[in-house]
A and B are shown apart, each in its own frame.
Chain A
Amino acid sequence: MQRFVGAVLILLATGSAGILYGIEQQCYLEKLLYIRHIVYMLKGELDYAGIPLGEVFGRVAVRVKEPYRRWLHNLEKQVEKREEDGFFKIWMRSVDNYLKELHLKSEHSIQLKELGTYLGKMDSVSESRNLQLYIDRLELEIEKVREGLASKKRIGNCLGIMGGLFLIVVLI
């Protein structure tokens, strides 16, 4: 009886790990979708009002959830302080400090940081195009993640159960 209960528990644990892996992949996709949503809002504010970056971040910050809200509020504060030589430094630091809990893949993190090097320098048309360019690149990444999501979920589930069975065979 004990062996049976143990086997069930192992199977449950490894199966849940597989499901969790799938949920994590889904969450990652949602994070990318949310970043896209934020950049769209930034672009919208910029196109519509043509206001300075600090105000743009402030206006968007009140409409988004944590940790993005803290990130944007910090950006607003740093821009208003005007103590850093160059906006990209503020952007890089804030991405590192406030979005690290998102655990973005390095390529996605680099792309997001790169956006900061283009912001605030040119005319409003180029500014808007740069944001659009980033959105387009992000769309591609989202598509890639979405395409792989179903198979990753399936693999996660299967591996969880198979791993559990393997452990049961080895241990029992």
Chain B
Amino acid sequence: MREDGKRQQIFRILARGIRTVLEREHLDFNELQEIRLRIGKPLMIVYKNTELIIPKETAEKHLVTKDELRETLDYISHYSMYAYESEIRQGFITIEGGHRVGMTGKVILEKDRIKNMQYISSVNIRVAHEVIGCGNRVLPFLTKNKEICHTLIISPPRCGKTTLIRDLIRQISNGNTYVKGCTVGVVDERSELGGCHMGIAQNDMGIRTDILDCCPKADGMILLIRSMAPRVLAVDEIGGEEETRAIEYAMQCGCKLLASVHGTDLDEICGKPGLSRLTEQRRFERYVVLNNQKDPGAVHAIYDEWGNVLCRDL
């Protein structure tokens, strides 16, 4: 995505006061990672992996007001908070371009379950970065006979797993020297992969990709298998018991799985309920472990199904 497009998408959801302050900073939006708004607290951003308090040049910092936060929420929700109830229940909204807006406030409970959120006091805008070609170094290790292996990407938050999986989807879908182009079904529960807006992907997901937007992963995988016959199924941030069962089902249906999960290493994944069963059965043929010790998206290691290291520090 171009820098000015990203700038426009982010500015459109910010209150005018905050927009003005950020405009004066002359930021490169390709390097902007987060914008944090907290009522009564200074405006903060994460820029080039560094946290900055805005305005960075002056001693007097911009304090975010209640009205600015309300205005921002109005813009984020297109003046329609009711339409994002289910997303707010999960704590975040995905906006046009795949950017994720996390929020905290007072939770409304109903029968011990989160019903909604009110008095929202903090907002964290995480800028999505589409890095075309970031999967180039990884892809050769994930293919056999020009077919993708069942792959699990393991990564802590903010290490670029969504960015990597998105680029892998694009390459598998389009096809290249390492992999033959094939249909890819994507279950995009939080609209992060495709960044769909009104059903249309804002990110380049390849020519043979079908996206099921805002659908629960377990249901979505089964639905895609039945309706679109994908050769490869891609899902982001798996974890639940139901999801692992759906993955098993998909693997038995002849689909190749490309999935990601939060974690720091292979041992941690082997200890997770549900996923441990899949690792014991050696369902996944490749494990890609990411960390951000050097840069976000840096590959720590790639393992095969037996836990042998195929490569390190890519």
Residues of A within 8 A of B (CB): 46, 50-55, 79-80, 82, 85-87, 90, 119-124, 126-127
Of B23-31, B75-83, B232-240, the one contacting chain A is: B75-83
B16 to chain A: which residues have CB within 8 Å?
Answer: 85
Residue in A54, A85, A127 whose Cβ sees the most chain B Cβ within 10 Å:
A85
A120 touches B81 (CB 8 A): yes
A55 touches B82 (CB 8 A): no
Contact of A50 among B67, B74, B75, B83 (CB under 8 A): B83
B83 touches A121 (CB 8 A): no
Give bound CA distance, A119 to B77, whole Å.
12
B82 to chain A: which residues have CB within 8 Å?
Answer: 46, 50, 120-124, 126-127
Contact of A54 among B15, B74, B78 (CB under 8 A): B78
Instruction: Judge whether B109 is part of the interface by a CB distance below 8 angstroms.
Output: no
Give bound CA distance, A39 to B59, whole Å.
52
B78 to chain A: which residues have CB within 8 Å?
Answer: 52-54, 79-80, 82
B79 touches A79 (CB 8 A): yes
Instruction: Judge whether B85 is part of the interface by a CB distance below 8 angstroms.
Output: yes
Give bound CA distance, A25 to B15, whole Å.
46
Contact of A123 among B74, B77, B116 (CB under 8 A): B116
B79 touches A53 (CB 8 A): yes
Do most interface residues of chain B lie in helix, strand or loop, or is the interface mixed? helix
| Sample (25) of A-B pairs whose CB atoms are under 8 Å apart | A46-B82, A50-B83, A50-B85, A52-B78, A52-B79, A53-B78, A53-B79, A54-B78, A79-B79, A80-B78, A82-B13, A82-B78, A85-B15, A86-B74, A87-B79, A90-B79, A119-B79, A120-B77, A120-B79, A120-B80, A121-B81, A122-B81, A123-B81, A123-B85, A124-B83
A52 touches B77 (CB 8 A): yes
Question: 1/0 contact trace for B9-23 toward A, CB 8 Å?
Answer: 000110110000000
Distance between B194 CB and nearest chain A CB, rounded to angstroms: 18
Give bound CA distance, A90 to B74, whole Å.
12
Give bound CA distance, A51 to B198, whole Å.
10
A87 touches B116 (CB 8 A): no
Give bound CA distance, A52 to B13, whole Å.
15
A52 touches B74 (CB 8 A): no
Give bound CA distance, A46 to B85, whole Å.
13
B79 to chain A: which residues have CB within 8 Å?
Answer: 52-54, 79, 82, 86-87, 90, 119-120
